[in-house]
Amino acid sequence: MVFDESKDKLFFVKNLENVQEDERDTIIFSICYAKDKSGKMYMRFGPLGHSSGERRLNVAITRAKCNVKLVGSIFRLILTLTE
């Protein structure tokens, strides 16, 4: 990924709710969570886990003209569906 320094806006940072009308060649989508002090990982993923979360995800991902880069902070092995 190369940033074109001749463009007015090199990049921007926005949350899921505010990306509606912006499009860019590349969208860097960050999903970063951590365990609490006791080592427990809660399955609370903000607006994505609420009603209509799939629509918000769709809006965010379709803002990319060329590609989406996904950045995450958790391994799949620490996620459980039983807690």
Percent of the chain with pLDDT over 90: 2
What does pTM read for this prediction?
A: 0.63
Contacts of 31 (CB under 8 A, 6+ apart): 45, 70, 71, 72, 73, 74
What's the mean pLDDT in 57-78? 82
The more confidently predicted of residues 38 and 47 is 38
Question: What DSSP string describes 15-70?
Answer: -GGG-TT--EEEEEEEE-----TTS------GGGGSTTHHHHHHHHHTTEEEEEEE
Greater pLDDT, 45 or 26? 26
